[in-house]
Amino acid sequence: MAPSSELRALIEANAPLWSGEAEIFGVYWASASRSRRTDLAWIARQAYKEMFDGVVPRLAAGEVGLAGLANRHSRNELLTVLREAYEEYRHYCLFADLYEELAGPDDPPLTFEALRGWSWPENEALASIRVQHRSEQGPIGARACAITEGGYMTLFAEAMRQRGRSAADDRIADACKEVHDDEFTHMLEGIAGLDDEPLTAREWELLAELTTDQLRLRIPMRNAQFGFPLPADRVREIQDGNCEPLAFDYAQAGFGS
Ligand SMILES: [Fe+2]
Ligand SMILES: [Fe+2]
């Protein structure tokens, strides 16, 4: 099935911000100031995200789902939440393992307690706009959160491209490859079925507004996670949409042309 013009418009609104996020990783990997220390910092922050943005909210949603088990639909919904909780926990393990493998004897261990200390304000800003969209915009808000999750996997794709540069880069590429495919599925779960739902023109518009608002906040979130590879004025340019759009893979997403 071909995507509707509304779905295409939504993806076109998101695509420049996806490529803006990818630019951060490209600049980081090419930078002379990248070191084992800076790698450990972004990996620790990624482990934090997998745990506190990925696992913890899904476990909470799982408890709510258990209490509301009533029919096939609610059983299936809980199945999805628990599968995603398992996958996010696996992502956390992959990054925590990676941290341990790359850490030297003088680096602090990434215990669960230490993980909390890797929270960063730009990530909190993104988390709070997501909470706000969910609570104020209901199902459209939740849908927007699912669509922007992972930022079109550009971190994982970019890390996979660094394979062959060093033993550490190979290990990073291995871990990121594992995460990449799960995250694509998670994003598709946000997009899947959009064309089967009777969304009004205003709802499509709202979905585009909410997703781009979230993606704009992903730029400073990632830039801070990676130790600010982009200057502040470039971050603002990207937030204004000043970026060549990333090509969305409609075939991989299950659409015909
Ligand atoms: Fe994840
Ligand atoms: Fe995810």
Q: What are the boundaries of each domain within the chain?
A: 5-239
User: Do residues 216 and 133 lie in contact, with contact meaning Cβ atoms separated by under 8 Å?
Assistant: no
Instruction: Give the distance (Å) from ligand 2 centre to CA of residue 127.
Output: 14
Q: Which ligand is nearest to the CA of 50?
A: 1
One-letter amino acid for residue 148 of the chain: T
Q: What is the pLDDT of residue 110?
A: 97
The angle at the Cα of 81, spanning 77 to 86, to the nearest 5 degrees, equals 145
Q: How far apart are the first and last CA of the chain?
A: 7
Q: State the helix-helix crossing angle for 201-225 and 121-148, rounded to 10 degrees.
A: 140
Q: Which ligand is nearest to the CA of 175?
A: 1
Instruction: Give the distance (Å) from ligand 2 centre to CA of residue 187.
Output: 8
Per-residue pLDDT of the chain (257 residues; tens, 9 = 90+): 788 999 999 999 999 999 999 999 999 999 999 999 999 999 999 999 999 999 999 999 999 999 999 999 999 999 999 999 999 999 999 999 999 999 999 999 999 999 999 999 999 999 999 999 999 999 999 999 989 988 889 999 999 999 999 999 999 999 999 999 888 887 777 787 787 778 999 999 999 999 999 999 999 999 999 999 999 999 999 999 999 999 998 888 888 75
Q: State the helix-helix crossing angle for 56-67 and 72-102, rounded to 10 degrees.
A: 160
Instruction: Give the distance (Å) from ligand 2 centre to CA of residue 54.
Output: 6
Burial of 242 (0-12, 13-18, 19+ CB in 10 A): exposed
166 DSSP 8-state letter: -
Q: Which ligand is nearest to the CA of 183?
A: 2
Collect all residues with Cβ–Cβ distance below 8 Å to 98 and sequence separation of at least 6: 43, 171, 172, 175
Q: Write down the residue that tokens 């084992």 correspond to.
A: 36
Name the CATH topology of 5-239: Heme Oxygenase; Chain A (1.20.910)
Collect all residues with Cβ–Cβ distance below 8 Å to 177 and sequence separation of at least 6: 156, 160
Buried b (16+ CB within 10 A) or exposed e, 98-123: bbeebbeeeeeebeeeebeebeeebb
Q: Which ligand is nearest to the CA of 47?
A: 1
Q: What is the pLDDT of residue 254?
A: 80
Cα–chain center distance at 238: 17
Residues shown for the chain: 257
Q: What is the pLDDT of residue 176?
A: 96
The angle at the Cα of 17, spanning 16 to 21, to the nearest 5 degrees, equals 120
Closest CA to 18 of 210, 214, 215, 177: 215
Q: Which ligand is nearest to the CA of 186?
A: 2
Instruction: Give the distance (Å) from ligand 1 centre to CA of residue 202.
Output: 31
Instruction: Give the distance (Å) from ligand 2 centre to CA of residue 179.
Output: 8
Q: What is the DSSP string of 94-111?
A: HHHHHHHHH--TTSPP--
Ligand 1 (single-atom ion) residues, CB below 5 Å: 50, 54, 88, 91
Instruction: Give the distance (Å) from ligand 2 centre to CA of residue 163.
Output: 23
The tokens describing 102, both together, are 């790359």
User: Using CA atoms, how far apart are residues 13 and 16, in angstroms rounded to an integer?
Assistant: 7
250 DSSP 8-state letter: T
Q: Write down the residue that tokens 């909780």 correspond to.
A: 85
pTM here is 0.94
Instruction: Give the distance (Å) from ligand 1 centre to CA of residue 183.
Output: 6
